[in-house]
């Protein structure tokens, strides 16, 4: 095998490990991860897993980065394929709700789970999760501002406040739907989001 072949196999192994780690963390939290557990489940040597990450914290950080990549692929990138304006805002929120409803991760939204786990625990993992959420909120605000600049949303709209409310509605609906095993709560959240957007849509 060539050096490039070994590197490719290494990247594939790393990707497999992180995909499984993200699935576990979505249901059991990042503390549910361990090098030993992943090695056993994926039938890889512990030393093989350790070589990729070196410590549990590095594994957790890499898992957060993997979850961000998955989120972007399922939510952000589809929205960017839609022209700027209210259409992009709606596409973004619909993609996010689809990501929650499917769900992409077996435990529901990866970030809903890990935010609750680390919100009161200072450190690098919490910082990484917090940064991902700041990036997300900034992107929602950007899409809303584009719509406002195009005259599709009322000029007086407080964009950060609107972004906060839309985010809260989607998160709460998904969390309640998962907790109560009641898909109708996704629909209630979607209805609330559409009602809020309608209230600021320019005539």
Query: pLDDT, tens digit, for every residue of 62-79?
Result: 999 999 999 999 999 999
Burial class (CB in 10 A: 0-12, 13-18, 19+), 140: buried
* CA–CA separation, 50 and 181 (whole Å): 37
Over the chain, what is the mean pLDDT?
A: 92
Is residue 180 assigned to a domain? yes
Global pTM reads 0.89
Is residue 194 assigned to a domain? yes
Identify the DSSP state of 82: S
Q: Please write the tens of the pLDDT for every residue from 136-172.
A: 999 999 999 999 999 999 999 999 999 999 999 999 9
Identify the DSSP state of 83: P
- Read off the CATH number of the domain in which 66 is found: 1.10.357.10
Neighbours of 76 (CB within 10 A): 18
Is residue 91 assigned to a domain? yes
| Segments forming the whole domain that contains residue 129 | 56-200
Instruction: State the total domains in the chain.
Output: 1
């Amino acid at each position: 095998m060539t050096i490039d072949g070994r590197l490719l196999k290494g990247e594939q192994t790393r990707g497999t490990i992180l995909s499984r780690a993200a699935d576990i963390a979505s249901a059991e939290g990042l503390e549910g991860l361990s090098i030993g557990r992943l090695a056993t489940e994926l039938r890889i040597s512990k030393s093989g897993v350790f070589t990729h990450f070196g410590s549990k914290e590095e594994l957790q950080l890499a898992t957060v980065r993997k979850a961000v990549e998955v989120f972007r692929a399922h939510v952000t990138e589809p929205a960017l394929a839609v022209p700027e304006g209210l259409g992009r805002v709606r596409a973004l929120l619909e993609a996010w709700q689809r990501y929650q409803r499917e769900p992409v991760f077996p435990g529901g939204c990866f970030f809903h789970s890990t935010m609750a786990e680390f919100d009161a625990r200072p450190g690098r993992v919490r910082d990484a999760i917090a940064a991902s959420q700041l990036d997300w909120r900034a992107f929602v605000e950007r899409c809303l501002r584009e719509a406002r600049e195009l005259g599709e949303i009322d000029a007086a709209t407080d964009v950060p406040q609107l972004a906060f409310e839309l985010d809260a509605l989607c998160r709460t609906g998904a969390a309640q739907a998962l907790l109560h095993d009641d898909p109708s709560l996704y629909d209630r959240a979607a209805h609330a989001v559409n009602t809020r957007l309608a209230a600021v849509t320019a005539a």
